Structure 1
Amino acid sequence: MKYDVADVKLAPGGKKRILWADNDMPVLAAIRERFARTKPLKGMTISACLHVTAETANLMRTLKAGGANAVLCASNPLSTQDDVAASLTKDFGIPTFAIRGENRATYYKHLNAALDHKPTVTFDDGADLVNELHIKRKKDAGRIVASMEETTTGVIRLRAMAREGKLKFPVIAVNDAKSKHLFDNRYGTGQSTVDGIIRATDYLLAGSNVVVAGYGWCGRGFAMRARGMGAIVIITEVDAIKALEAAMDGFQVMPMAQAAKVGDLFVTLTGNKHVLRPEHFRAMKHRATVANSGHFDVEIDIPGLKKMSKKVNRGVRNHVDEYVIGRSKSIYLLGEGRLINLAAAEGHPACVMDMSFATQALQAEYVLKHAGKLEIAVHAVPLEIEEQVCRLKLRTMSIAVDKLTPEQVEYLASSGEGT
């Protein structure tokens, strides 16, 4: 079995971590038990480019239990848990290509190792596998039945490809499932971003001016958590509707040029490029701290920051680099501008990833059943999958919901009854 991990001897610790996370992923466990009995993914070859974490490991175990021939590579150089990568390879027989801190050349070597597996289905966290198939490995794209995309950033890229007529196979926007973005993005990103920042800096949020760039579901989640810990939260937005919503939710809203002058901590969660730029760095206070919780490391203009700095002090603290501007101003960059919740912490809690990865697993079953029937486009997750995941999750939480009476069903389906 081919694989590339930091040290396979780390496997015992990784297995403990995987099984600990599994305790808090009952929905995925129930699906894995059914998959093991019915083998609905038999004959499917999967290449997954995802964050190599304990939660992801349990998704990969589920796919394998369903009969899939699956491999995994990292979707971000700083999100890999090396002990998990080792355990997936050694204990669970799933070839893994991921090393924490890998450079760009190794990252793309691992992407191509996953594609050498000759997948019929791909799982992506940022659309890098899909991008590689469309640019450098076009011949392999014809084999793909469908791809699943788990991030806002990836869905943006894929919808652009679809609009331009460049998309070569169907893609399921798993990210846009309500059971994913309402929970994973809001509660998962919200909590894990706070976790990463505090682990990296030992920062006290209470009383601090925290600037949140973007009020999508990830931005909402982080803003809620920061306010809950006593921060004075400022939102920056380009979308008028989201900006108005943020204001109605009780947050200050202003342009980044204005926020840059008052912020103590800046966090980008937009999926866009160069949200924080040199003109913002110039306006920031001494010892302002900047972090990113969007998928790619382009939200902060790091080359621009480096160019305007007279000195860069690497590793002044774990996951903290100091950029010295002029005579006396320091800007602290966290996690090299990569996903701070994974660069400095462990990513989303397992219980929220339980829903996202349950959706992924059921979606794999769906695309195999509908192989050859899906239009080449970016598709939504079917409502029945969403409902199944939420029903299972409620059951594991011992929560029951009401059912419509026959009279209520008839009333909702009719138009004749008025005031």
Structure 2
Amino acid sequence: MADIANPDRADAGRARIDWALTEMPVIRDLMQELAREKPLQGLRLGGCLHITTETANLARTLKAAGAELVLCASNPLSTQDDVAASLVQHDDIPVFARRGESHEVYYQHIHAVLDHRPQVTLDDGADLISELHRSRPELLATMIGGTEETTTGVIRLRAMAADGALQVPVLAVNDAMTKHLFDNRYGTGQSALDGIIRATNILLAGKTFCVAGYGWCGRGVARRAAGHGAKVIVCEVEPLRALEAAMDGYRVMPLLEAAAQADFMLTVTGDKQVIDTAHFEVMKDGCVLANAGHFNVEINLEALEALSRGTSRPREHVQEYTLEDGRRIRLLAEGRLVNLAAAEGHPSAVMDMSFANQVLGVLHLVRQRGKLTPGVHAVPTAIDQQVARRKLAAMQIEIDTLTPSQQAYLASWQEGT
């Protein structure tokens, strides 16, 4: 069973998946190791993830480990249809994902994965596990746990836990150091700008670029935009992050003030209605709006529609809204994840570490079955360290080790001045 758009593109998808694997040495090594050991033999896995070349290599690895895996998309515009076709036809992994699927079909696909009765879920945004709790609670009895890939999903899971709704343990893969320090910063930094540039082909140098949110993703975007020659403004609500942005050399100001100056505005906050009516009313003619947060709620699209007298589509991923006074506001990728909707998502080299955490996280959940309490759990430091060591080895980088004397010194308190 599967629901994909273009079965005839399977060979093209396989070529791109194999290309991505050349930049994923940690996943490649894990795939080979786990194929020999089969530690997940017979385990039912359900994944709600972006169906990309990198995700395909994660899926291949989990199947090589013996798991029975079914996938759906975690965003209606992030599916790469050739990749979905390849997974179905060449790897015999059921996939329920079509690029551009409707809201209704999106949730039909989530339920198709839940019909597989997964013992472990892999999420990017927490849609799968939240829907399981909301409408399929009978599946909880056989659940071992889940993993969560992204900041937005971890926020949702912690809200579920605070409400007493989360009934299984979930590993916050997003919070692993080898994930958020690299995937969020370097991955989003490059891929978000890649999406903006592909969608618009507008030169960034000399333009004013506003980044709303200065978490690890925002830090990465700001740094890359500055590298392109843009004049970067950062908008924040957290004083420590705002202070850091200022000391990193960026202008920091309220979003309403920035909206009147910006040529580009990118949201990466994980919150809703960050850019709203008041901001649209002061934006420059031709301002480009994009979102790199997980859900398409960061830009108030209904408010933008209400202010507009008409829309046009001058380029594939650009919807141009003409306001009553004639100003044009250019929205990219329908306000969805611009790096996946208008480009190809994060580079494989950073997803290598993120998905290594996913694989090792699933193994950890299985080995700790029955020992972890319901709630959001940190990825064990040992897994983080293992991923970092494997990545360094793949990059042929060697580091020093402490001597026994140095270790003893760090563990003692008696030696002083």
Asked if the contact 1:209–1:234 (Cα under 8 Å) also holds between the matched residues in 2, the reply is yes
1:2-401 matches, cutoff 5 A: 2-313=1-312, 315-401=313-399
User: Following TM superposition, by how much is the alpha carbon of 1:150 offset from its aligned partner in structure 2, in angstroms?
Assistant: 0.4
| Distance in 2 (alpha carbons) for counterparts of 1:368 and 1:169 | 13
Percentage identity across aligned positions?
A: 57
| Distance in 1 (alpha carbons) for counterparts of 2:315 and 2:141 | 47
SS at match of 2:210: strand
Gaps of 5+ in 1: none
Cα displacement string for residues 211-236 of structure 1 (whole angstroms, at most 9, x for unaligned residues):
00000000000000000110000000
Cα displacement string for residues 38-69 of structure 1 (whole angstroms, at most 9, x for unaligned residues):
01111310000000000000000000000000
Cα displacement string for residues 185-239 of structure 1 (whole angstroms, at most 9, x for unaligned residues):
0000000001000000001111110000000000000000000110000000000
Asked if the contact 1:142–1:168 (Cα under 8 Å) also holds between the matched residues in 2, the reply is no
Cα displacement string for residues 73-102 of structure 1 (whole angstroms, at most 9, x for unaligned residues):
000010000000000000001000100000
2:345 is matched by which residue type in structure 1?
G
1:408-419 matches, cutoff 5 A: 408-419=406-417
CA RMSD of aligned residues (A): 0.6
SS at match of 2:83: helix
Q: Comparing 135-144 with 355-364, which one deviates more in the overlay?
A: 135-144
TM-score normalized by the length of structure 2: 0.99
SS at match of 2:91: coil
| Distance in 2 (alpha carbons) for counterparts of 1:8 and 1:257 | 47
Cα displacement string for residues 113-172 of structure 1 (whole angstroms, at most 9, x for unaligned residues):
000001000000000001101111111122211110001000000001111111111110
1:382 is matched by which residue type in structure 2?
P
Runs (4+) off by over 4 Å? none
| Distance in 2 (alpha carbons) for counterparts of 1:81 and 1:181 | 24
User: Following TM superposition, by how much is the alpha carbon of 1:288 offset from its aligned partner in structure 2, in angstroms?
Assistant: 0.6
SS at match of 1:5: coil
User: Following TM superposition, by how much is the alpha carbon of 1:327 offset from its aligned partner in structure 2, in angstroms?
Assistant: 3.0
| Distance in 2 (alpha carbons) for counterparts of 1:375 and 1:204 | 51
TM-score normalized by the length of structure 1: 0.99
SS at match of 2:297: coil
SS at match of 1:402: coil
| Distance in 2 (alpha carbons) for counterparts of 1:336 and 1:362 | 35
Cα displacement string for residues 348-387 of structure 1 (whole angstroms, at most 9, x for unaligned residues):
0001100000110011111110111101110000000000
SS at match of 1:401: coil
User: Following TM superposition, by how much is the alpha carbon of 1:403 offset from its aligned partner in structure 2, in angstroms?
Assistant: 0.1
| Distance in 2 (alpha carbons) for counterparts of 1:144 and 1:151 | 21
